[in-house]
Structure 1
Amino acid sequence: MPNIAAELFTVRDWLGNQHQLHEAVHRLAGVGFEWVELAAVAAVDGPDADTSPATLRRILDDHGLRALSAHRRFGELRDNTAAELEYLQTLGCKMVAPPVIFDVYDYRDFDGYRRFLDDAAPVREKLSAAGIDFAYHNHSHEFVYFAGTNPMEYLIENSDMQMELDTYWTAISGADPAAMIRRLDGRIRYLHCKDAQVFPTDDPDWFAKPEPTWAPVGEGLLNWDAILPAAAASGTEYYIIEQDVCRRDPFDCLASSLQFLKERVAA
């Protein structure tokens, strides 16, 4: 089976305590997942946490699941690198990515990205020494042009870090995910697979714009016949399924996305 992970943010409402965590992991294993990306696990990281990272590792192990990667706040990675490294090593993660950086830096100013790259350098060095990749996870604001370029181009040109490219945010920004994957050849070891669809708004105005939202992979508008071959050619090894908002049961959405990718990604 190809390396396909479930992003736990998709089922964040089922991760509030250890009992829920057991049930969520059981359901993910039951539909065929072998990997997860950790995010929004309130049972471990929330204010009422009742589960240690070591216990989470045992829960995953008991269900035949492995933690591929984790989304961790960059401020913590920068300021408490040793503790974050211990967390990642306890769980066996291969990669870590900050879900955003705008909680620390101004994303509307290239100085914010410059400071991020400067601050990330020693973090990356320590993680790399431990065999853990550091990747940048994008949203849509990285594709907004100002001062003659955009933040994504700035990050590409001024760093060699891995990019955990998010296909949904890339597409709704107006960029072509397949073209961006080719542009980042060799730098997308981990691909965030998300699909997009649109629905009419409740606005009675006949020309109101439809609102974009998320869809199970293969059920939306993205061109996976272009995205997946580009990813394979560029060296992508891990495909991470995330759906920020689900219009039906999130576990069903993940199962549908998994089946779609299993049929199209080589093992």
Structure 2
Amino acid sequence: MPYPIAYQLYSSRNFPPLVDQLPILKSMGYDAIEPWLPAYETDPKAFRRALDDAGLKCFGFHMPLGGLVGEPQRFIEIAQTLGATYLIPPYVTPDERQPTAAYWRGLGEKLATGAEAAQKHGLAVAWHNHDFEFIPFSDGTRPIDHIFEAGGDAVKFEIDCGWIVRAGADPAAELRRFADRIVAIQTKDTAPIGTKEDDGWTATGDGIIDWAAIVPLFRETKADHIVTEHDNPGDWQLFARRSIEHLKALGL
């Protein structure tokens, strides 16, 4: 069975209005969008109506870690309004990060507390990675390992393959390592390291990741959907179209 494919709306944040993008994405074959804050914040009900009108779903959305810690009920209610299952904190700023296992274990514990609250409503919390979680400490351990060890089984994972490659790690190895935790797979692709155009990102299939080689590993995870993303496309429609066409050609 093909996976449902979502589009991370952050990709086209620089091409407003976002609501006008929804029917275009549907026409390309997308099943859902993955919004980021603040796209849905002002009026979640209106955002849901726009999704319904376009025939799109929302499986999960990006949100601040601080919101999960300080306002869990607010974001749980947003998830319920949007029809989403996954609350996905995706980032901590450089100023917040500390190069210690204790810091990252603390982050995992915060995710676990949020996951406990979400589970009561049939929802789940998933961490979304960048590159910094995969940079080893001097003892060989990595932030991502401490996050999940401290977070426990309830903390899920939206794996971003492009950022893993940027970190010098192997997405195939990480798909295997975290197979039981992965609930969504971002097929972000990267151009050769050093590329300046579009900040070095590119459409899925146009970069250096061998998707045909790792797609079989997708089926070994618990992922129930795929997400396309590009951090800074010059042409968002070209990125969106080429990405979904490549994924469908791979049988996804």
TM-score for both structures, normalised by structure 2: 0.90
Pair 1:12-2:13 in alignment: yes
CA pair 107-226 structure 1, distance change in 2 beyond 3 A: farther
- Aligned partner of 2:44 in structure 1 is 53
Instruction: Look up the equivalent residue of 1:150 and give its one-letter code.
Output: R
The match for 1:135 is 126
Residue of structure 2 equivalent to 1:193:
187
Query: Cα distance, 1:101 vs. partner?
Result: 2.8
Q: Does 1:36 align with 2:33?
A: yes
CA contact (8 A) 1:164 1:189 kept: yes
What amino acid does structure 2 have at the position aligned with 1:64?
G
| Letter of the structure 2 residue corresponding to residue 128 of structure 1 | Q
Of the three residues 18, 23, 26, the one matched with 1:21 is 18
Amino acid at match of 1:12: R
Displacement, 1:81? 0.9
In the alignment, is residue 75 of structure 1 matched against residue 66 of structure 2? yes
Name the residue aligned to 1:205.
none
Cα RMSD for the two superposed structures: 2.2
| CA–CA separation in structure 2 for the residues paired with 1:201 and 1:85 | 39
Separation in structure 2 between the aligned mates of residue 225 and residue 173 of structure 1, nearest angstrom: 21
Displacement of 1:200: 6.0
Native 8 Å contact 1:197 1:221 kept in 2: yes
Which SS does the other structure have where 1:245 is aligned? coil
Structure 1 residues 151 and 53: alpha-carbon distance in aligned structure 2, compared to 1, 3 A threshold:
same
Question: Once structures 1 and 2 are overlaid, which stretch shifts more, 29-38 or 191-200?
Answer: 191-200
Say whether residues 1:258 and 2:252 are aligned partners: no
For residue 111 of structure 2, what is the aligned residue in structure 1? 120
For residues 26-52 of structure 1, the C-alpha deviation after alignment (integer angstroms, 9 at most, x for no partner) is: 21112111111011444x43xxx5xx1
Q: Which residue of 1 aligns with 2:90?
A: 99
Task: Provide the identity percentage.
Answer: 29
Match of 1:110 in 2: 101
In 2, Cα distance between equivalents of 1:71 and 1:92: 14
Q: Distance in 2 between matches of 1:211 and 1:21?
A: 20
- Aligned-pair distance for 1:132? 1.4
CA distance in 1 between counterparts of 2:138 and 2:240 reads 39
1:66 equivalent to 2:57? Answer yes
Q: Give the partner amino acid of 1:130.
A: H
Cα 1:78–1:219 change in 2 (3 A) is same
Per the TM alignment, residue 111 of structure 1 is displaced from its structure 2 partner at its CA by 2.0
Task: Write the letter of the residue equivalent to 2:36.
Answer: A
Deviation at 1:201, TM superposition (A): 6.5
**Structure 2 residue aligned with 1:181:** 175
Q: What is the TM-score of this pair, normalised by structure 1?
A: 0.85
Instruction: Tell me the distance in 2 between the aligned counterparts of 1:8 and 1:212.
Output: 17
How big is the shift at 1:147?
4.0
Q: Which moved more, 1:117-126 or 1:57-66?
A: 117-126
- How many residue pairs get aligned? The number is 248
The separation in 1 between residues aligned to 2:32 and 2:120, in whole angstroms, is 23
Q: 5+ residue gaps in structure 2?
A: none
What secondary structure is seen at the aligned counterpart in 1 of 2:220?
helix
- Provide runs of 4+ in structure 1 moved above 4 Å: 199-202
Q: Distance in 2 between matches of 1:133 and 1:55?
A: 23
Cα deviations by residue, 1:127-162 (Å, 9 ceiling, x for unpaired): 111111211111111111214111122234333221
SS in 2 for 1:260: helix
| Structure 1 gap ranges (5+) | 203-209
CA contact (8 A) 1:199 1:211 kept: no
Give the C-alpha shift of residue 103 in structure 1.
7.0
SS at match of 2:13: helix
Letter in 2 for 1:11: S
The one-letter amino acid paired with 2:6 is A
Aligned residue runs from structure 1 range 206-245, under 5 A: 213-245=200-232
Which secondary structure does the structure 1 equivalent of 2:158 belong to? strand
Kindly state the Cα deviation for residue 193 of structure 1 after the two structures are TM-superposed: 0.9
